[in-house]
C-alpha cells in the first residue's frame, strides 16, 4: 500500500514565503539536473579503477576482458570493469555519474533507473558487460549543451515534484522513457509506467502531475 499523499504548498500559497520558494526551486532544479543529493560514499573506497585506466586480464584463457568501451550520454567511455560489476556501480564509482542512485540494490525501488536504448532499466541489476554496444543515458545526459533542462526535468521543477529528492533522478528517467514510447499517455498509463519507482516521501501525485505537464508541453 502506498503512503498517504500530502499536497505540498504551491507557489502561490501565502503560507510559503518568496525566499523559501526560490530556495526550494533552486534545490529541486539542482537535483533534477544532476541528481546531486547527499549520497553515501561508503563504497567509493572499496572500488579501484576509473575511466582511462588500462588494467586488463592480459588475454588469459577463460577470463573476461575488463577494459571495455561503454556508450554513455553520447560519448564513448573506456573503463575498467570487473566481470560481476553492475552498471550502477560503473556509472557512479568509475565514471562519476552520481545522479544514478543506489537504493535497494536489488531491482525493486527504481532509484537507479537509467535508459538503455531509450528503455528504462534498473542499472543495479544490469551487468556493465551486458550493455556494450548499446546507448546508455543517465540523468546527467538529459540537459542540453546550453544548460536548458529537458522538458521532463523542467516539468518536475514547475510542479515542485520532489520532496527529499533521492528518488527523483530515477523518476525523471522513467518519465523520459515513457514519453519517448508514448508521448500522450493518460494519467493511468503514466501511473502504471511510473509504478516501478518508489518514493519514500509519498510524492506520487506530484510526480504524476509532473509527467502529465511534460506530456502537454513537450
For 120-174, the pLDDT digits (tens) are: 999 999 999 999 999 999 999 999 999 999 999 999 999 999 999 999 999 999 9
Phi, psi (rounded to 5 degrees) for 136:
-110, 135
Kindly indicate the confidence band of residue 189, based on its pLDDT and cuts at 50, 70 and 90: very high
Residue ranges of domains in the chain: 24-38+143-217
Going 106 to 136 to 169 to 101, the CA torsion angle's sign is positive
Quick one: CATH architecture of 24-38+143-217?
A: Orthogonal Bundle (1.10)
State residue 28's pLDDT score. 66
pLDDT reading at 60 higher than 60: no
125 against 31, higher pLDDT: 125
State residue 43's pLDDT score. 38
Grid cell for residue 17: 514565503
What is the residue-averaged pLDDT of the chain? 82
What is the maximal distance between C-alpha atoms in the chain?
A: 69
2 against 27, higher pLDDT: 27
Residues 6+ apart with CB under 8 A from 172: 32, 139, 142, 150, 152, 153, 156
pLDDT reading at 198 higher than 80: yes
Amino acid at each position: 500500500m502506498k503512503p498517504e499523499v500530502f499536497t505540498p504548498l504551491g507557489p502561490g500559497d501565502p503560507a510559503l514565503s518568496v525566499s523559501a520558494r526560490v530556495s526550494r526551486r533552486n534545490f529541486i532544479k539542482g537535483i533534477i539536473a544532476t541528481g546531486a543529493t547527499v549520497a553515501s560514499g561508503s563504497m567509493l573506497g572499496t572500488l579501484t579503477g576509473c575511466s582511462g585506466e588500462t588494467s586488463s586480464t592480459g588475454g588469459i584463457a577463460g577470463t573476461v576482458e575488463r577494459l571495455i568501451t561503454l556508450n554513455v550520454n553520447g560519448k564513448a567511455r573506456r573503463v575498467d570493469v570487473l566481470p560481476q560489476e553492475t552498471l550502477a556501480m560503473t556509472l557512479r564509482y568509475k565514471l562519476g555519474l552520481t545522479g544514478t542512485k543506489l537504493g535497494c540494490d536489488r531491482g525493486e525501488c527504481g532509484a537507479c533507473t537509467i535508459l538503455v536504448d531509450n528503455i528504462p532499466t534498473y542499472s543495479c541489476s544490469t551487468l556493465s558487460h551486458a550493455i556494450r554496444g548499446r546507448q546508455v543515458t543517465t540523468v546527467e545526459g538529459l540537459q542540453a549543451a546550453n544548460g536548458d533542462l529537458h522538458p521532463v526535468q523542467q516539468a518536475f521543477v514547475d510542479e515542485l515534484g520532489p520532496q527529499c529528492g533521492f528518488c527523483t533522478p530515477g523518476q525523471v528517467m522513467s518519465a523520459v522513457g515513457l514519453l519517448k514510447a508514448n508521448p500522450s499517455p493518460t494519467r493511468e498509463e503514466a501511473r502504471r509506467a511510473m509504478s516501478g519507482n518508489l518514493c519514500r516521501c509519498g510524492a506520487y501525485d506530484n510526480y504524476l502531475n509532473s509527467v502529465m505537464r511534460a506530456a502537454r508541453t513537450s
